[in-house]
A = this chain, B = another copy of it.
Amino acid sequence: MLIVFGSVALDTIRTPTSTLHEVLGGAATFSSISASFFSKTGIIGVVGKDFPDFYHDILNKYVNTDGLNQKSGKTFRYDGEYDITLSTRKTLKTELNVIRDFNPKIPEQYLKSEFVYLANNDPDQNIEIIKNFDNIKLSMCDTVEYWIYTKKYSVIKMIKNSDIATINDEEARLLTKEHNLVKCAKKIIGLGTKYVIIKKGEHGSILFHDDMIFPLAAFPIENIRDPTGAGDCLGGAMMGYLANKHNVSVKTVRDGLVYGNVLGSFVVEGYGVEKLLSLEKIQIEDRIKKYKMMTQRL
């Protein structure tokens, strides 16, 4: 079973075409649902007493929610606004609420898991939680701007302790103070992780490992509604794919990233988790085939 630890949120998302108020979101939500297309997935996270039952039911349909704690207090809230290009998002509000000082109870049956994804979350909590897993074959972490600003050294420590670090381009620049993404990636690898994935939104992603670089174009999408969660879906699907293959060869990691890219391309076609909830495995395989045809050459 893949274990995903991260935020479960009530998101307010303002896009040029629609505004969503307090809808199901959060890194662990997007990534664990994406992972569930490939692997049995268990989620660790925390929500408040205000978390709607039907959101809990949605999660429960896709993933094991034994690790989803409910605490007194309010659920983590995020509020962000996209500009007209849908490529820049301004954070209006981040309310940690129950996520602050969360000390998760980990279900017994999660502890033997070999694949753990530390989705975006407080890096100190991420560092603590991974210590509970004794059989780790592959760990991956993600982070966002908020934690780089508020807990940079914890972010660095978390990356050092993960096999794969994913980060988006602007966050990689913020963390390393470099503009060039190859330089960013080299600095991040230098922190002690084995792989770095730099996520570039509509421009795809780049995987770095040792001296190797694997750039991946994005699957082009004509009607993007809401980019929220695309990076989380990438990470989740990739880890789900790897957990299912039970293999951590470089080739498998690359293949996993292709699946991650493709899951990211689906989620942006709907608002919030909407598209994920109507997605079928056959559509994923179909898009993977299309992507292969698009990108094979020479």
Contact of A222 among B182, B203, B212, B214 (CB under 8 A): B182
Contact of A204 among B86, B203, B223, B254 (CB under 8 A): B203
Contact of A217 among B85, B186, B215, B219 (CB under 8 A): B215
Q: How far is the CA of A224 from the CA of B180 in the complex (A)?
A: 8
Q: Is the CB of A218 within 8 A of B215?
A: yes
- Tell me the complex Cα distance, A222–B182, Å: 5
Number of contacting residues on A, CB 8 A? 37
The answer to whether residues A221 and B84 also contact, given A215-B295, A294-B214, A298-B258 and a CB cut-off of 8 A, is: no
Q: Does A292 contact B (CB under 8 A)?
A: yes
CA gap between A266 and B129 in the complex, in Å: 45
Closest B-chain residue to A255, C-beta based? B298
Identify the interface centre among A85, A186, A216, A298: most chain B CB within 10 Å of its CB. Answer: A298
This chain: how many copies in the complex? 2
- Which among B84, B181, B254, B292 is the interface contact of A220 at CB below 8 angstroms? B181
> A200 on the interface (CB 8 Å rule)?
yes
When C-beta atoms are compared, the residue in chain B nearest to A213 turns out to be B220
Distance of A215 from chain B, by nearest CB (Å): 3
- Chain B: minimal CB distance from A230 (Å): 15
Tell me, in angstroms, the Cα distance from A180 to B186 when the chains sit together.
31
Report if A297 contacts B (CB, 8 A). yes
Chain B residues positioned under 8 Å from A181 (CB to CB)? 202, 220
Contact indicator A297/B220 (Cβ below 8 Å): no
User: Nearest chain B CB to A10's CB is how many angstroms away?
Assistant: 28
A268 to chain B, nearest CB (A): 11
A174-192 at interface with B (beta carbon < 8 Å): 179-183, 186
| A217 CB contacts on chain B under 8 angstroms | 204, 206, 215-217
Return the contact of A203 from the options B85, B179, B200 (Cβ within 8 A): B200
- In the complex, what's the smallest C-beta–C-beta distance from A58 to chain B, in angstroms? 29
Residue A150 at the B interface, CB < 8 A?
no
Interface presence of A72 (CB below 8 A)? no
Instruction: Please determine whether A294 and B204 come into contact, CB atoms closer than 8 angstroms.
Output: no
A296 contacts chain B at the CB level, 8 A cutoff: yes
Residue of B nearest to A216 (CB): B217
Contacts of A258 in B (CB 8 A): 297-298
Nearest CB on B from A210, distance (A) = 13
Closest-CB distance, A184 to chain B (whole angstroms): 10
CB distance from A114 to the nearest CB of B (A): 23
- Give the chain B neighbours of A216 by CB distance below 8 A: 217, 295, 297
Q: How far apart sit A223 and B215, CA to CA, in the bound complex (Å)?
A: 17
Q: In the complex, what residue of chain B is closest to A84 when comparing beta carbons?
A: B179
Interface flags for A153-197 (1: CB within 8 Å of B; 0: not) read: 000000000000000000000000001111100100000000000
7 CB contacts below 8 A, A to B, read A182-B221, A182-B222, A212-B294, A213-B220, A214-B294, A215-B217, A215-B218
